[in-house]
Amino acid sequence: MDFDLEIFKDEKLSAYYIDFLTDEQSPDIQEHFSRLWDYYSNQMKWFINDNDNEQSRKYLQSQEVGLPTRITGINLNGKSVSDIKRKEVVIENDISWRINAAVDFLFGKPIKIVSVAPAVDKRNEIEKIIKAVFDANGAIGFFQNMGLIGSVYGFVDCVVRPALHKHNSKLTLEQVIKEAEKIDLELIDSSRALPILDENDYRKIVYYIQHFLQKRNEVQQKNFIGFGRLLSRKKDSTSREVIEVTEIISAKAWQRYEGGNLVKQGELPWGFLPVVHIQNIALPFYYEGLSDVEPLIPLQDELNTRLSDRANRITFQSFKMYLGKGIDGFEDKPISPGRMWQTDNTDATIEEFGGDAANPSEDAHILEIRGGIDKISSVSPIMTGNLKTAIGNLTSAVAIKLTFMGMLLKNNRKQFTYSNGIEKICEMVLSMLDTYDIYKTDEGDRKVQVVFPNPLPEDITENLNQATMKKNLGVAQETILKELGY
């Protein structure tokens, strides 16, 4: 692709290096991150395969890629193996509900963004402006999407895109809020991200590049099909048009290429890269953070393998079968209570075989796999209300915290990284509003704090009693109100 990088005015920015990123690294990155998303979503695809049997199902699931060929009948290249029949495949997605539970634990309740500007009036105005920006971008849904993307991929990037213009006159607060609602907070699919980092500091992004295929609202073949033929048409009769997109953003300028052609570019007036990078769990020396999905994949594959093996064993052993010898037409005779067979052959016999037998080692192995997934993810079935055994008296706040200790510690680590990212987004938004003379602030006014609510159930009466005792001890009222969530 021919890149015209003159607008960036940087001799170190090489078009050959960008070509290397988009042509060589991008396919590997997309394959890696797409696999993480596939294991989370476990999408299902219908198919018709000649290499199956009466026990197999007519669909494929994403997590089947981790099953051995002896079960799926498909090799590593995705092709059917002629001498292996597809078995009964059992997929229990233990990853998805754990990821969703972790996201609910982090962003299940609305967070509070508190301004720390010196002036009280300024604080109140800033909090209203910031709230309007996030509400316009999905409110709590924005944060839940942020948590989900970060949890699956290990990190999440947010590009701040303001559709603003300069104002010569002073605006009222209502007008400022309307302008602020035009700021788009775009969460980036991690498989698209190709950041160029500082050679001496991996934490600093010099250029942010996105490279992806975008579906357009056009088709490559225009075949007009009547309603009567809609259900009978072939899937490949038409295909949606796809175009290759590359976007380059720096602190000074940006460009967008479509199909190899430069379609848009412009200079950025605010003097900083409008991209916020958030690691799911901090990981030193790496741009990506720790993914919640990736360490669970080997155990998920082992669980699905053993469940499929058990299903096939049960299929062949759970039902009693009969072998009749010397009885004419035995294969056509029904088996039911009170049914009798008659024959003149004195050597005729009926042998019974089959029936499920206990397999304690198999059950123990599956339980140990589930326990390993619990430990690695820090998410146990109790988080979904699934109580299988007596676990003591959970009416005590201390007992509840001990039960959820692993998840609470992991959640605290996430709160640190996500709160830093949200604070940077707020600072960028206020700086952009200041640059366009919409709402004037200085650097000290743009500082905010993110307050996460307690994810555990709380006793309001007990919290108020504790607040009263703290007030009697001389704790500042502002601190007490902040702890209570006000």
Per residue of the chain (486 residues), give pLDDT as tens. Answer: 789 999 999 989 999 999 999 999 999 999 999 999 999 999 988 765 555 555 667 788 899 899 998 888 877 666 677 677 888 889 999 999 999 999 998 999 999 999 999 999 999 999 999 999 999 999 999 999 999 999 999 999 999 999 888 887 889 999 999 999 999 999 999 999 999 999 998 889 999 999 999 988 888 765 444 444 444 444 455 688 899 999 999 999 999 999 989 999 999 999 899 999 999 999 898 999 999 999 999 999 999 999 998 888 877 776 677 788 888 877 777 777 777 777 888 888 888 776 666 778 888 988 899 889 888 888 877 766 666 655 555 556 666 666 777 788 888 999 999 999 999 999 999 999 999 999 999 999 999 999 998 877 666 787 888 889 988 999 888 888 877 767
Q: CA-based angle 203:199:206, to the nearest 5?
A: 60
3-state class (DSSP) for residue 88: coil
Task: Classify residue 366: in a domain, yes or no.
Answer: no
Which H or E element spans position 103?
A: helix 96-107
Task: Classify residue 78: in a domain, yes or no.
Answer: no
Residue 121 structure tokens: 């009036």
Task: Classify residue 81: in a domain, yes or no.
Answer: no
Cα–Cα dist 258/429, whole Å: 28
CA distances from 254 to 193, 376, 404 (A): 15, 41, 46
Residue 472, C-beta contacts closer than 8 angstroms, at least 6 positions apart: none
CB atoms within 10 A of CB 376: 14
3-state class (DSSP) for residue 244: strand
Question: CA quadruple 387, 389, 395, 399: dihedral positive or negative?
Answer: negative
Residue 75 structure tokens: 């090799």
Residue 137 has what DSSP assignment?
T
Task: Classify residue 416: in a domain, yes or no.
Answer: no
Task: Classify residue 33: in a domain, yes or no.
Answer: yes
Task: Classify residue 330: in a domain, yes or no.
Answer: no
Residue 309 has what DSSP assignment?
H
Task: Write down which residue in 292, 321, 354 finishes a domain.
Answer: 292
Cα–Cα dist 98/105, whole Å: 10
Stated pTM of the model: 0.83
Is residue 192 exposed (0-12), middle (13-18) or buried (19+ Cβ within 10 Å)? buried
Of residues 363, 296, 354, 345, the one with CA closest to residue 320: 354
Residue 161 structure tokens: 């895109």
Question: Number of folded domains in the chain?
Answer: 2
Cα–Cα dist 348/328, whole Å: 10
Residue 422, C-beta contacts closer than 8 angstroms, at least 6 positions apart: 111, 113, 143, 450
Task: Classify residue 138: in a domain, yes or no.
Answer: yes
Rounded to 10 degrees, the C-alpha dihedral 417/420/424/425 comes to 60
Cα–Cα dist 291/312, whole Å: 33
Residue 416 structure tokens: 């640190």
Residue 73 structure tokens: 């009948």
Buried b (16+ CB within 10 A) or exposed e, 379-414: bbebbeeeeeeeeeeeeeeeebeebbeebbebbeeb
Range of the domain at 284: 1-42+91-222+238-292
Q: Are 42 and 63 in contact (CB under 8 A)?
A: yes
First to last CA, the chain: 54
Task: Write down which residue in 275, 292, 309 finishes a domain.
Answer: 292
Task: Classify residue 337: in a domain, yes or no.
Answer: no
Task: Write down which residue in 271, 292, 313 finishes a domain.
Answer: 292
Cα–Cα dist 183/432, whole Å: 9
Cα–Cα dist 438/175, whole Å: 9
